[in-house]
C-alpha cells in the first residue's frame, strides 16, 4: 500500500517534511510494550517533534516482560532520554525506576519515564490527558454524579482525574470484584471521593441509574476493534440530551456505546483526544517546554491518526 493511499493531502505534504538530519547529539525517545506494532505513539510523537521544531527522534521497541529490567537498564546505558511505557509493563516498570511522581505512587502505574544523567523518573500522564481532552465539557463534571465502567489501570487514572474535577459521586462497575474493591478503596481513602459506590451487577434498574447520572464513562476494552458490535450497556431508554458519554476507546472512532448515546441526543466523545494529550504531556515532561496545540493543529493530528487507524485494521 502506498503512502499516498494511507494519508490524505495536506497530511501527506506535512509528512514529507519529517525527513531531517539526525545528529550524534539528537535526543532519542521511545515506546516499549508487548505487542507494540499497533502503537500510534511513533506516528504521534514524531508529529509533535516536527510540529514544534524539536531536535529528537522517537522509535518503538518490543520488550517482553522478562526483558523489562534490561530495557530500563538499557535506557540508562544508551542515554535514551525519554520513554513511554504501554501494556503490559505499566505496573511492573516502577520496580526498576529511581523515583516516581505522586500520581504514580497513588495509582501504582507509570506510562512515562525520563532519564536525566542516568536517573530514571516515572510519571503517569493519562489523568492529564483525560482532563485536557474535555475542553469546554469539563464544566459538566463539577458536582456531577458519574457512572464509570471499568476498574483497571485506565479507570484508576480516570478516577484520579475526576477527583481534580470536583465530581460529587462516582458509581463504579466492573466484572472483576477484586479490582473494583481496590479502586473503591483508592477513591474513598486516597482521592477524597468518599461518596464512591460500587454496583455489584448491571441490574434491571440501569435505566433508573443512567436517568439520574448525567455522565457515563467507559474505561473498559468492550467495543474496541475488532469487537465493534459490543457495548457495556444495551437497550437503555433513559439517555437524553442532558447526558455526556465518554469512551476511552479511539478505535473505532465512534463505538457502539457512543453511537447509542448520540442517537438518543447525548453529547459524546471518544478517547482520541485523551490519547493525543497524554502523549503531549509526555513530550512536555521530556523537553521541559510548555507545548500547546491550537485548533487547526489538533484537527490535523486527529486526521492523521484517524486515517492511519482506518488503513491498519
CATH value at residue 27: 3.40.50.10860
If DSSP states are collapsed to H, E and C, what string results for the chain? CCHHHHCCCCHHHHHHHHCCCCCCCCCEEEEEECCCCCCCHHHHHHHHHHHCCCCCEEEEEECCHHHHHHHHHHHHHHCCCEEEECCCCCCHHHHHCCEECHHHHHHCCCCEEEEECCEEEEECCHHHHHHHHHHHHHHHHCCCEEEEECCCHHHHHHHHHHHHCCCCEEEEECCCHHHHHHHHHHHHHHCCCCCCEECCCCCCCHHHHHHCCCEEEECCCCCCCCCCCCCCCCCCCCCCCCCEEEECCCCCCCCHHHHHHHHCCCEEECCHHHHHHHHHHHHHHHHCCCCCCCHHHHHHHHHHHHHHHHCCC
Does 302 reside within a domain?
no
**Where a domain ends, among 124, 157, 190?**
124
149-169: average pLDDT: 97
pLDDT above 90 (res 21): no
My answer on whether 72 and 103 are in the same domain is: yes
* Model confidence pLDDT, tens digit, residues 253-296: 999 999 999 999 999 999 999 999 999 999 999 999 999 999 99
Predicted confidence at residue 36, as pLDDT, reads 95
More confident residue, 22 or 162: 162
Does 301 reside within a domain?
no
CA dihedral 277, 283, 285, 286 (to 10 degrees): 170
Average predicted confidence (pLDDT) for the chain? 93
17-41: average pLDDT: 88
Predicted confidence at residue 310, as pLDDT, reads 81
Percent of the chain with pLDDT over 90: 87
My answer on whether 106 and 177 are in the same domain is: no
My answer on whether 199 and 223 are in the same domain is: yes
**Where a domain ends, among 255, 272, 289?**
272
More confident residue, 254 or 17: 254
**Where a domain ends, among 63, 93, 124?**
124
Predicted confidence at residue 8, as pLDDT, reads 58
Domain region containing 165: 128-272
Q: Give the cell for residue 72.
A: 530500563
Does 226 reside within a domain?
yes
By DSSP bridging, strand 215-218 and strand 244-247 are: parallel
Comparing 2-16, 92-106, 220-234, the range with the smallest average pLDDT is: 2-16
Domain count within the chain = 2
My answer on whether 212 and 261 are in the same domain is: yes
My answer on whether 17 and 148 are in the same domain is: no
Q: Which residues are catalytic?
A: 90
Confidence label for 25 from pLDDT (cuts 50, 70 and 90): very high
pLDDT above 90 (res 129): yes
Does 255 reside within a domain?
yes
Domain with 136 in it: what CATH number?
A: 3.40.50.720
* Model confidence pLDDT, tens digit, residues 98-128: 999 999 999 999 999 999 999 999 999 999 9
Predicted confidence at residue 200, as pLDDT, reads 80
137-154: average pLDDT: 97
* Model confidence pLDDT, tens digit, residues 197-228: 999 877 658 999 999 999 999 999 999 999 99
My answer on whether 137 and 93 are in the same domain is: no
Does 132 reside within a domain?
yes
Most confident of 18-22, 63-67, 309-313: 63-67
My answer on whether 118 and 11 are in the same domain is: yes
Predicted confidence at residue 7, as pLDDT, reads 56
Predicted confidence at residue 126, as pLDDT, reads 98
My answer on whether 155 and 238 are in the same domain is: yes
Does 290 reside within a domain?
no
My answer on whether 193 and 71 are in the same domain is: no
Rounded CA separation 261/116 (Å): 46
Q: Give the cell for residue 193.
A: 471521593
Rg (CA), the chain: 20
Rounded CA separation 97/119 (Å): 8
pTM of the model: 0.91
My answer on whether 113 and 183 are in the same domain is: no
Does 247 reside within a domain?
yes
My answer on whether 163 and 117 are in the same domain is: no
The sheet with strand 267-269 has its strands ordered as 197-198, 169-173, 145-149, 215-218, 244-247, 267-269
Predicted confidence at residue 12, as pLDDT, reads 55
Predicted confidence at residue 6, as pLDDT, reads 55
Within 13 Å of residue 180, how many CA atoms lie on the same side as its CB? 18
* Model confidence pLDDT, tens digit, residues 33-90: 999 998 999 999 999 999 999 999 999 999 999 999 999 999 999 999 999 999 999 9
Does 229 reside within a domain?
yes
Predicted confidence at residue 313, as pLDDT, reads 55
Within 13 Å of residue 106, how many CA atoms lie on the same side as its CB? 22
My answer on whether 117 and 153 are in the same domain is: no
Amino acid at each position: 500500500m502506498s503512502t499516498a493511499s494511507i494519508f490524505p493531502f495536506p497530511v501527506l505534504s506535512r509528512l514529507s517534511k519529517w525527513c531531517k538530519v539526525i545528529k550524534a547529539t539528537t535526543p532519542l525517545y521511545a515506546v516499549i510494550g508487548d505487542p507494540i506494532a499497533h502503537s500510534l505513539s511513533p506516528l504521534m510523537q514524531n508529529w509533535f517533534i516536527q510540529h514544534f521544531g524539536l531536535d529528537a527522534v522517537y522509535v518503538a521497541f518490543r520488550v517482553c516482560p522478562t526483558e523489562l529490567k534490561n530495557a530500563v537498564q538499557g535506557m540508562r546505558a544508551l542515554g535514551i532520554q525519554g520513554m513511554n511505557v504501554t501494556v503490559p509493563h505499566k505496573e511492573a516498570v516502577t520496580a526498576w525506576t529511581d523515583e516516581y511522581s505522586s500520581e504514580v505512587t497513588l495509582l501504582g502505574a507509570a506510562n512515562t519515564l525520563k532519564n536525566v544523567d542516568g536517573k530514571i523518573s516515572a510519571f503517569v500522564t493519562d489523568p492529564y490527558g483525560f482532563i485536557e481532552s474535555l475542553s469546554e465539557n469539563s464544566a459538566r463534571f463539577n458536582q456531577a454524579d458519574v457512572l464509570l465502567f471499568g476498574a483497571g489501570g485506565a479507570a484508576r487514572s480516570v478516577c484520579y482525574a475526576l477527583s481534580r474535577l470536583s465530581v460529587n459521586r462516582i458509581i463504579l462497575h466492573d466484572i472483576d470484584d477484586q479490582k473494583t474493591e481496590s479502586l473503591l478503596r483508592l477513591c474513598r481513602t486516597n482521592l477524597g471521593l468518599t461518596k464512591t459506590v460500587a454496583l455489584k451487577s448491571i441490574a434491571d434498574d440501569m435505566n433508573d441509574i443512567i436517568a439520574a447520572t448525567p455522565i457515563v464513562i467507559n474505561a473498559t476494552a468492550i467495543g474496541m476493534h475488532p469487537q465493534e458490535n459490543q457495548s457495556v450497556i444495551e437497550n437503555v431508554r433513559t439517555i437524553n440530551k442532558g447526558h455526556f458519554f465518554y469512551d476511552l476507546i479511539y478505535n473505532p472512532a465512534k463505538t457502539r456505546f457512543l453511537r447509542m448515546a448520540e442517537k438518543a441526543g447525548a453529547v459524546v466523545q471518544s478517547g482520541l483526544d485523551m490519547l493525543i494529550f497524554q502523549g503531549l504531556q509526555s513530550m512536555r515532561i521530556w523537553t521541559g517546554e510548555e507545548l500547546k496545540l491550537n485548533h487547526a493543529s489538533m484537527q490535523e493530528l486527529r486526521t492523521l491518526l484517524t486515517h492511519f487507524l482506518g488503513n491498519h485494521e
